[in-house]
Amino acid sequence: MVSLFFILFKKDRCFTMEVMREYTAVRKIASYELNVFGKLRLSAMLRICQETAEEHLSMYQLDHKTLMRQQHLAFLILRVGIQIHRMPRDGETISVLTRPEGNSGAQFYRSYHICCGGEACIDMIYSNILVDGNTHKIVLPHRLDHMEIDIKQTLSPKEKLQKIKMPEDMELWGVRQIRFSDLDFNGHLSNSIYGDIIEDYLPGNYRCGQNGSRKQLYKLQINYIKESKLKEDMLILGKETQREFYMTGSVKDTPAFTCKGQFRV
């Protein structure tokens, strides 16, 4: 990856600012990443994107280990928007192109474009926030200004991820206890596991519809709201219509996540 530098002047001091460019990772889909239909799991897709971002950020000393060790800061995922053209299958080699898309208030946006050969498979947009590791409070993007890294502002207003307005007449779809194997190194429910929870509690006709057909998920937004911990019981509430579904997981009457998905009809 070739770095690009801008020369800037501040009073009587001249300095260079490195522009964060796009980054591409290439990997082969493994059999253990597949669901029962032989396609990539939602949780595996979320893991792939998270690891690709870490590889990219490590080039700028912004990966989670370095950022926490040197500045006591951490990026947390706030929202994820996903558009699925088709899910990759066993043994396929995919390329994952990611780049920063700028800021909106306290949120950092990052996009992903996943291809197999020349075929577009998945487009994603992530919204992240920066949190102080000591106070656990959100900090604004200017906290990283001293690193002199330019994150180009390319995000259009229509691409911003908004809150999901949930319907009032939602039904109980199940109860999911948080298990030890669900936890990440912070002791909280891992971001990727929400993909498994969503697939586990999707309406039955997503898994098997009439006459062997099933609804195809092509659009999904996940909003992370509150961290969940070991042995907590998450109540899964949902509502399905002909073309879409809503789902929320609540712990102790407080939403932990919300999501909205659309089916290809």
The DSSP string of 194-260 is: HHHHHHHHS-HHHHS-GGG--PEEEEEEEEE-S---TTPEEEEEEEE-SSEEEEEEEETTEEEEEEE
Residue 157 clears pLDDT 90, i.e. is over it: no
Write the pLDDT tens digit of every residue in 37-86. 999 999 999 999 999 999 999 999 999 999 999 999 999 999 999 999 99
- C-alpha torsion sign, points 165, 174, 84, 51: positive
Number of domains in the chain: 2
Residues 151 and 181 both lie in one domain = no
* pLDDT at site 144: 86
Burial of 113: CB neighbours in 10 Å, binned 0-12, 13-18, 19+: middle
Residue 153 clears pLDDT 70, i.e. is over it: no
Q: Where does a domain end: 138, 158, 178?
A: 158
Residues 86 and 208 both lie in one domain = no
* pLDDT at site 205: 65
Residues 65 and 189 both lie in one domain = no
* Mean pLDDT estimate for the chain: 88
CATH number assigned to the domain comprising residue 218: 3.10.129.10
Its domain, for residue 256, covers 163-265
Write the pLDDT tens digit of every residue in 29-46. 999 999 989 999 999 999
